[in-house]
Amino acid sequence: MSYFSLKYLIIFLLTIVVVYIFTPKKLRNLLLLLASYALFIKVSKKLVVFLLLSTLSIYFSALLMNKLDLKRNKEIEKVSKEEKKIIKEKYKSKKRIILILTILFNVAFLFYFKYLNFFKEIINIIFSSDLKILKIIAPMGISFYTLRALSYVIDVYNEKEEAERNIIKIMLYLSFFPIILEGPIASYADVKNEFDKKSSVTYHNFCFGCQRILYGLFKKLVIADRLNQFVKIIFKSYMNYSGSTIFLGAIFYTILLYMEFSGTMDVVNGSAEIFGIKLPENFRQPFFSKNISEFWSRWHITLGLWFKNYIFYPVSLSKPVKKLSTFLRNKVSVRFSSLTMGAIALFAVWTLNGLWHGAGFTYMLFGYYHFILILLGNIFEPLIIKTCDKLKISRNTKIYKFLQIIKTSILVFIGELIFRAKNLTVAFGMLKRIFLNFNITNTNFSIGLDIKDYIVLVFALIIVLVISILKEKNMNVREELSKKHIVIRWIIYYALIIGIIIFGAYGPGYAPVEPIYADF
Amino acid sequence: MKNIMNNVFKSIIFMFILLVLLGILSYVLLTNKENVKKYGINVVSNNEILSEEKNTIDVIAIGDSLIYSSISPMILWKNYGFTSFDCASAAQVISDTYKELKYGVETQKPKVVIMEADVLFRNPKKVPWYYKFTKIENYLSLFHHHNNWKKYLFSFINTNSNFTKENIFKGFKYINKTKPGTNFNYMHANTKKYVISDENAEYFEKIVDLCNENDIKLLLVSFPNMRRWTYSKSEEASELAKKYNIEFIDFNKNQDLLNIDWKTESRDGGGHLNYSGAIKATNFIGEYIKKYGILKDHRNDKKYNNWNEAYKYYIESLK
């Protein structure tokens, strides 16, 4: 299923909006839940059982942990400080068992549906065995809802979040139809108040939601699907093209990926906005990043935050890492100790980040590529600062920042090339041609695109760039637009709608980009 | 309340202006403006034959959804070098089938016409409700022809090709779903008697006359359809074909001709073939009409280069 399909936008979403308008306030969440489950069952059929099992597991384990917290609080009321510590430890270990069992329960499903075959492949390679690779169809959005489920139970365990007693809200949190397929990986804290509001479909919400959906459609249909004409050929038969053409393919793929994924997020956030539900943002102008770390704090933000909160911090604060850190601080240096601590946590983050994106060696390489870049960035940062100071190069000039953005973008293009390549052989083959066969005069621009396509692409990208610059300057573009005279607003809307219909790369002869992140 | 009414009014005005704009642009971006006069009869896709270069189509296939589900002109091109076009629409009535052919022969000189026999039995007064809605598409054809902007915008730029990909399927509808058919005894299970109405017979005669006038070989075909076709229909159609001395290929009565695997080659439980079934049917028809010896293989003819280009995109579209 695609959020860009007419089936979703015209039939599904519009029907739910109409029914929602006439639904009493107290039943609105129930309606959204029914709609979400209907969509899930339509796509994944019987596999809905796994979504239900995940939901029930986190719902009951959170309640159980909450019950233990209350019991513990009662017990420690009238005891000494020493006894308090012992009681706290006792309850913590009980809670830990519940947490670990819940995590294992949910991760087991994820492992079975997404990683079992990959695991078998690795065993077959190492032991030359012949384990059968099964054809497994995963429940829709399992990677996304599992991370949301885990974040909820971990937050309840850490007492950052109260256990939710209303099962409808927990069911909706995991299954809410705009976020089920491609996120954002919102924490429960992000959405619980939004669900509580049970807002009406107001004219303002409806218009703002539709605007956002339109912008997403524009990015996907006019830019991403058009670039796909070029990208799919390059990645399929890279051997026929020069290094510079392959590099152009990597640039186009990165733009395509951004337009497809951020466009999907526009449709997702716009859909939720119609119902007055504000979801966290997943992108913040990532191509204005000056280094890879910054890039990942602007690209797929909710995934980055998840890894930061639930992998990076727990690993860096774990007992063995802390011990090692103390040892290194005493024996080597404070800087070496903090670098090592960071490296261990980063290694865990990027191993899992790569694997989360897909069960394949290219995804693992994609993860480690970013791990190495960030680690090198951390190691050489002081050296770069020193060198710049010595050479009297100001790091605050626009040119310096621009060059940093270019450097980061080039590194991202290479990373995305690895990400898109069919396998490691193809990835290395493409990289080899880029580095050994790069000839800018031998760049082939006319693969699947003609000059008129390029004119449309340039116009469309300028529009996205201008909007991104305005957003970077903290301007709320949509609010500003809503202040304009109705004639100006309508002209812009008509231009956008007609622009999408005429210049969209859809219909016979075009192969639309499949929902890329839906497979993760 | 006043505010709500105000917003509803604004929304209606917004949609109205949008529809008008889409209607105007639909007209502006039509390749062949002449089509407009002829629209209002049927869906846009079949009238696209009018946008094909004059006298380049050798085979026209007319009828209902069984045509656009069973004959892929691009496969006929690839395997035989014949240029063909499916002028078909869902639940078509025979009067429209006749009109389709009439428009077809205005700009083309086909040598063979393939007609699906199902239309002989459709009562023009009992047309399904959705048939009327297909006409809406005529006024909003922009969605179909949107890529024509390449012909009109930036016309000073020569791209060496006016290929717009708008009609690479040549009327065929690619649907590759699989829903097995189970009504294996359909040719005998349904004992209902079917009769070709006088009105339909009259239109059939008009089609025969039109073909004769234009020196076209007419071939009547009943494509595999276990949901609607019956033994009685086979008998009736066969008799009519005999009356006018027209060849009739009955894939329902002679199931061994195609050996359709109903488990894997139907898209809707036996009502229509899916793509894999269509390949079989198209190749059979290709072999059959090749034997007439009146069709040329245009694959190496430079004049037909656009067909090779269309085939390239056609294959890409199937992925």
Nearest CA in chain A to B167: A508
Query: How far apart are alpha carbons A443 and A247 in whole angstroms?
Result: 9
Q: What pLDDT, on a 0 to 100 scale, did the predictor assign at position B26? A: 82
Q: What pLDDT, on a 0 to 100 scale, did the predictor assign at position B130? A: 59
pLDDT surpassing 60 at residue B167: yes
Query: How far apart are alpha carbons B166 and B29 in whole angstroms?
Result: 11
* Range scoring the smallest mean pLDDT among A207-216, A444-453, B55-64, B270-279: A444-453
In this prediction, residues B27-35 reach a mean pLDDT of 62
Q: Is residue B63 assigned to a domain?
A: yes
Q: Give A444's pLDDT tier (boundaries 50, 70, 90).
A: confident
Sign of CA dihedral A411, A413, A416, A422: negative
Q: What pLDDT, on a 0 to 100 scale, did the predictor assign at position A518? A: 59
pLDDT surpassing 50 at residue A458: yes
Q: How far is B120 from chain A (nearest CA, A)?
A: 31
In this prediction, residues B124-128 reach a mean pLDDT of 68
Distances (CA, A) of A340 to A312, A345, A350: 13, 9, 15
Q: What pLDDT, on a 0 to 100 scale, did the predictor assign at position A446? A: 83
Tokens read off for A307: 């890894």
3-class secondary structure per residue, A384-397: HHHHHHHCCCCCCC
Helix A225-236 to helix A451-472 angle (10° resolution) is: 110
Q: CB A170: neighbour CB atoms within 10 A?
A: 24
In this prediction, residues B262-279 reach a mean pLDDT of 94
Q: Give B159's pLDDT tier (boundaries 50, 70, 90).
A: low
Q: Give A396's pLDDT tier (boundaries 50, 70, 90).
A: confident
Q: What pLDDT, on a 0 to 100 scale, did the predictor assign at position A199? A: 84
Q: Is residue B243 assigned to a domain?
A: yes
Per-residue pLDDT tens digits for A168-177 = 999 999 999 9
Q: Give B133's pLDDT tier (boundaries 50, 70, 90).
A: low
Rg (CA), chain B: 21
Question: Could you tell me the residue range of the domain that residue B227 belongs to?
Answer: 45-130+159-318
Q: What pLDDT, on a 0 to 100 scale, did the predictor assign at position A350? A: 94
Q: A494 and B157 in contact by Cβ < 8 A?
A: no
Q: A452 and B25 in contact by Cβ < 8 A?
A: no
Mean pLDDT of chain B: 85
Q: What pLDDT, on a 0 to 100 scale, did the predictor assign at position A516? A: 65
Q: Is residue B269 assigned to a domain?
A: yes
Say which DSSP state A135 is in. -
Sign of CA dihedral B141, B142, B143, B149: positive
Nearest to B150 among A452, A493, A501 (CB): A452
Q: A452 and B144 in contact by Cβ < 8 A?
A: no
Query: How far apart are alpha carbons A510 and A453 in whole angstroms?
Result: 13
Give A392 or A280, the one with higher predicted confidence. Answer: A280
Q: Is residue B124 assigned to a domain?
A: yes
Per-residue pLDDT tens digits for B217-261 = 999 999 999 998 999 999 999 999 999 999 999 999 999 999 999
Those of residues 435-454 in A touching chain B at CB distance below 8 A are: 450-452
Q: Is residue B19 assigned to a domain?
A: no
Tokens read off for B24: 């105007």
What is the count of structural domains for chain B?
Answer: 1
Per-residue pLDDT tens digits for A320-373 = 999 998 999 888 888 888 899 999 999 999 999 999 988 888 999 999 999 999
pLDDT surpassing 50 at residue B37: no
Give A305 or B91, the one with higher predicted confidence. Answer: A305
Q: Which of A482, A477, A454 is nearest to A222 (CA)?
A: A454
Query: How far apart are alpha carbons A406 and B298 in whole angstroms?
Result: 51
pLDDT surpassing 80 at residue B118: yes
B193-202: long-range contacts, CB 8 A cutoff, minimum separation 24: B193/B232, B194/B121, B194/B230, B194/B232, B194/B233, B194/B236, B195/B236, B196/B120, B196/B121, B196/B236, B196/B237, B196/B240, B197/B123, B199/B124, B200/B94, B200/B119, B200/B120, B200/B121, B200/B122, B200/B124, B201/B120, B201/B240
Q: Give A125's pLDDT tier (boundaries 50, 70, 90).
A: confident
Q: Which of B154, B146, B177 is nearest to A221 (CA)?
A: B146
Interchain CB contact of A493 with B (< 8 Å): yes
Q: Is residue B149 assigned to a domain?
A: no
Size of interface A-B (CB pairs under 8 A): 66
Q: What pLDDT, on a 0 to 100 scale, did the predictor assign at position A394? A: 83
pLDDT surpassing 80 at residue B128: no
Mean pLDDT of chain A: 92
pLDDT surpassing 50 at residue B202: yes
Query: How far apart are alpha carbons A449 and A462 in whole angstroms?
Result: 18
Q: What pLDDT, on a 0 to 100 scale, did the predictor assign at position A162? A: 92
Q: How far is A509 from chain B (nearest CA, A)?
A: 5
Q: A508 and B168 in contact by Cβ < 8 A?
A: yes
Interchain CB contact of A126 with B (< 8 Å): no
Contact B43, B134 (CB under 8 A): yes
Pick among A450, A454, A487, A496 to test the B interface (most B CBs inside 10 A): A450
Q: What pLDDT, on a 0 to 100 scale, did the predictor assign at position A23? A: 93
Q: Is residue B109 assigned to a domain?
A: yes
In this prediction, residues A478-489 reach a mean pLDDT of 91
Cis peptide leading into residue A184 (ω within 30°): yes
Q: Which of B173, B141, B160 is nearest to A508 (CA)?
A: B173
In this prediction, residues B154-176 reach a mean pLDDT of 69
- Domain at B279, CATH number: 3.40.50.1110
Instruction: Identify the helix (H) or strand (E) that includes residue B116.
Output: strand B112-116
In this prediction, residues A145-169 reach a mean pLDDT of 95
* Range scoring the smallest mean pLDDT among A31-40, A490-499, B137-146, B283-292: B137-146
Q: What pLDDT, on a 0 to 100 scale, did the predictor assign at position A439? A: 84
Q: Give A136's pLDDT tier (boundaries 50, 70, 90).
A: confident
Contact B283, B53 (CB under 8 A): no
Q: How far is A95 from chain B (nearest CA, A)?
A: 49
Per-residue pLDDT tens digits for A247-267 = 999 999 999 999 999 999 999
Q: What pLDDT, on a 0 to 100 scale, did the predictor assign at position B38? A: 45
Q: Give B39's pLDDT tier (boundaries 50, 70, 90).
A: very low
* Range scoring the smallest mean pLDDT among A441-455, A474-488, B10-24: A441-455
Q: What pLDDT, on a 0 to 100 scale, did the predictor assign at position B161? A: 47
Q: Is residue B92 assigned to a domain?
A: yes
Contact A226, A456 (CB under 8 A): yes
Q: What percent of chain A has pLDDT over 90?
A: 70
